[in-house]
Structure 1
Amino acid sequence: MNRLTLRVPSDLIRRFDAAAASKGGRARLLRRLMEEAAQGTLPELLEPPPGRLTGKLGLRLTPVDLVVLEREAASRGQSRTQWTVALIRARLHGRPQLSRSEAIAFVEVQRELRRIGVNINQIARALNTAVMEGAVLDLEVGQLAAFSDEIRAHLVGVRDAFEGNLAYWTPGP
């Protein structure tokens, strides 16, 4: 088995460990993220943009603005550069800019929706192939309706999350 070593800032490892605590620990979460990346199941928002980033932008801010910027970025688990780039990309492209934790949450939602879809396919296949009595058929159709309602609820949640993300990056009145 190979070993991977990398250096990360203390703040990042502290936040990662906090996120990993509920997922079996640092090593387990890292292995899972690497597996997902290798299988191509991470959303493209987690992947680096194609090509090298060659443009550079410098900003001069007042000390007060810099403190507010750092506080805002930290509240989203980002560096001030990451936050500023996300702000610019949101305004230029009109697409949600997800923090790493938000992107991971969306991966989890996708997994759940896939799981529900598999269950619905199994029920539909059973309905198509089985000869059922009226009560059994009603039970299966009811289960299918429940899954359908669950999918709708998840989709509403995903839409609301994306709208909330876009609202965050959109300037107020």
Structure 2
Amino acid sequence: MDRITLRLPSDLTRRFDAAAAAQGGRSRLLRRLMETAAQASLPASAEPPSAPLTGKLTLRLSDADLSLLEAEATAVGLSRTQWSVALIRRRLHDRPQFRRPEALALIEVRRELRRIGVNVNQIARALNTAVMDGVVLDLEVAQLGVFQAEIAAWVEALGEAFEGNLAYWVPAS
């Protein structure tokens, strides 16, 4: 987004602010006036510009609120903007919001679960196709039990990660 800066006499600024107060503020009135001027100068066949696909949100916070925001964002390793975006996305999409290291860890968990699943499938296929004596079969069944426990531990850890993340973004009562 472009920015235009200009210097005005104090009296003109005060009068403009008074007029703009009833129309949504200085920025809104300036944009509307500029849009009207730009539309008036377009040829009749020109199409108006399309709306942007992304937007910018500007927040004005008190010094105390800004300090709290900074502290909260720093505590979880995010910038103020990243923390604010995560909070908004959590509310809008009702999904966990992870920092990059957390997301990479979850990718690793997924990779491990996939590896374990491949091993379990190989063992199950071997059990279905091979004729084994009692000792070998017992070893294979025991290995399946180990994989089952490992999968259960990873799934539980994933659930705790998601629950912890979701709980973080819920306002404290």
User: TM-score scaled by structure 1?
Assistant: 0.67
Aligned residues: 122
Q: Deviations over 1:39-95 (max 9, x none)?
A: xxxxxxxxxxxxx75222211112122122112212222110110010011112111
Consecutive unaligned residues in structure 1, runs of 5 or more: 1-51
- CA drift at 1:104: 0.5
Give the equivalent residue in structure 2 for 1:72. 72
One-letter code aligned to 2:66 = L
Equivalent position of 2:9 in the other structure: none
Aligned to 1:146: 146
Greater relative contact order: 1 or 2 (C-alpha under 8 angstroms, separation 6 or more)?
A: 1
Q: Which amino acid aligns with 1:102?
A: E
| Secondary structure, counterpart of 2:161 in structure 1 | helix
Unaligned runs of 5+ in 2: 1-51
Partner of 1:32: none
Matched, 1:93 2:93: yes
Query: 2:172: which partner in 1?
Result: 172
The percent of aligned pairs where both chains have the same amino acid is 66
Instruction: Quote the residue 1:120 is aligned against.
Output: 120
- Rounded to whole Å, the distance in 2 between the matches of 1:144 and 1:89 is 40
Match of 1:62 in 2: 62
CA distance in 1, matches of 2:131, 2:66: 69
| Structure 1 residue 149 displacement after superposition | 1.4
| 1:8-23 equivalences in 2 (<5 Å) | none
